[in-house]
Amino acid sequence: MQRWPILFMVPAQALLFHQVDQSQAPACPMDSAGPSWGIWIDGKNASEGEQAYGAAYSKLMRRALLEVYRMQQKHVSTEVAAMRVQHLLHMPFLDKFGGLFDTKKAPGRNFRRAFECIQREVPQQFVTSMLQTDIDDVYDVTCLPSKPCRSPLLPLRHTLEQVFKSYHSKMAKAKLEDEKLRLLASLLKNLALLHPLPDRNGRSRLLLLQFELRRLGLACGTMLFNNNNNIYVDSVSVLAAKIKEGIAMYNRAVSTGVNPWLGSQRQTFPSSPYAKELSRCYEGHSANRGHGLSIE
Ligand SMILES: *[C@@H]1O[C@H](CO)[C@@H](O)[C@H](O)[C@H]1NC(C)=O
């Protein structure tokens, strides 16, 4: 197995100095080798190894991740990175309109189908937290509990511009790391709810997440337990906490050279208080039951 660069083994003295001056912080690893596969294979599937989702997927992600790191070094903007990520995944915009609740496309279908049931089965406050973020929301939460109703259709480019604008203006004022993580989680949630790409929305968000963590100087990466399925049902607080957990796992991967989710007991996140109701809703409505649909 390839080892990660020596770059990270900086002397303690240097670390002390770097703590004072963030801009001089030791550089993040610039390669996507070694245990970095834990970035695109979620922790829940780590035991199935690097090829859990197929060799082609791993090859594509390894290459795309490297390009994401390079873009960050060149100080590319979030928006440009987001556009470029689509091309790296061979999935440029094809549509003028988006919106998870207003599209007939397959992606997000399981949550869309389960949503009516979720509204019925879990308290409204909990449902609201699925749609409400710290930035301008793609869907109008005041329309609940009947249905999200800002649309009929969300013009993609305009909505994306609004989402990024709101994200950046809040980020410019954020001081605490936790605030910034919440804003990042808010961006990802809104992108998931907007669902701008015909496919590969999840992996495109995953790459953008790695990009933003570096751009904001929050971390060099994150290895999440679940890359996608929980994004709709988790609140911003829970998502932010999971990104934080992933950062700790990434750091452990860098220092040990192995995927830390292997053999992990995962005690940090007990299942959601409405896990039973949520999986009942998913089971009743999903096209392909039991295939990576766990809401955990
Ligand atoms: C990944 O993990 C989930 C949840 O444990 C499981 O249902 C799925 O079959 C696993 N493998 C793949 C390839 O999704």
At residue 229, φ and ψ (nearest 5 deg) are -60, -25
Q: What amino acid is encoded at 39 in this protein?
A: I
Q: How far is CA 33 from the centre of its chain?
A: 20
Q: Would residue 282 count as lying in a domain?
A: no
**Ligand 1 pocket test: which of 37, 45, 47, 227 has the largest number of ligand atoms within 8 Å of its C-beta?**
45
- 294 pocket-lining for ligand 1 (C-beta < 6 Å): yes
Q: How far is CA 257 from the centre of its chain?
A: 23
- 52 pocket-lining for ligand 1 (C-beta < 6 Å): yes
- 162 pocket-lining for ligand 1 (C-beta < 6 Å): no
The per-residue pLDDT for 19 is 38
Q: Would residue 136 count as lying in a domain?
A: yes
CA of 145 to the centre of ligand 1 (A): 32
What is the pLDDT averaged over residues 207-226? 97
CA of 61 to the centre of ligand 1 (A): 18
Nearest residue (CA) to ligand 1, atom 8 = 292
The per-residue pLDDT for 7 is 32
Give 235-245 pLDDT, tens digit per residue.
999 999 999 99
What DSSP assignment string belongs to 74-100?
TT--HHHHHHHHHHHTT-----SEE-T
CA of 44 to the centre of ligand 1 (A): 7
Q: Would residue 181 count as lying in a domain?
A: yes
Q: Would residue 6 count as lying in a domain?
A: no
Q: Would residue 113 count as lying in a domain?
A: yes
As a whole number of angstroms, the distance between CA 236 and CA 280 comes to 23
Contact status, residue 274 vs residue 129, Cβ threshold 8 Å: no
Nearest residue (CA) to ligand 1, atom 11 = 45
- 155 pocket-lining for ligand 1 (C-beta < 6 Å): no
At residue 155, φ and ψ (nearest 5 deg) are -65, 125
How many domains does the chain divide into? 1
- Residue range(s) defining the domain that contains residue 257: 29-262
Q: Would residue 221 count as lying in a domain?
A: yes
The per-residue pLDDT for 198 is 82
Q: Would residue 284 count as lying in a domain?
A: no
Of the listed ranges 84-93, 94-103, 198-207, the least confidently predicted one is: 94-103
Give 243-279 pLDDT, tens digit per residue.
999 999 999 999 999 999 998 777 788 778 899 999 9
- The label of the residue with tokens 């869309």 reads 112
Give 133-192 pLDDT, tens digit per residue.
999 988 877 665 555 555 545 788 888 999 999 999 999 999 999 999 999 999 999 999
pLDDT band at 99 (very low <50, low <70, confident <90, very high): confident
CA of 263 to the centre of ligand 1 (A): 16
Q: Locate the ligand 1 atom nearest the alpha carbon of residue 48 and give its number.
A: 11
Q: Would residue 33 count as lying in a domain?
A: yes
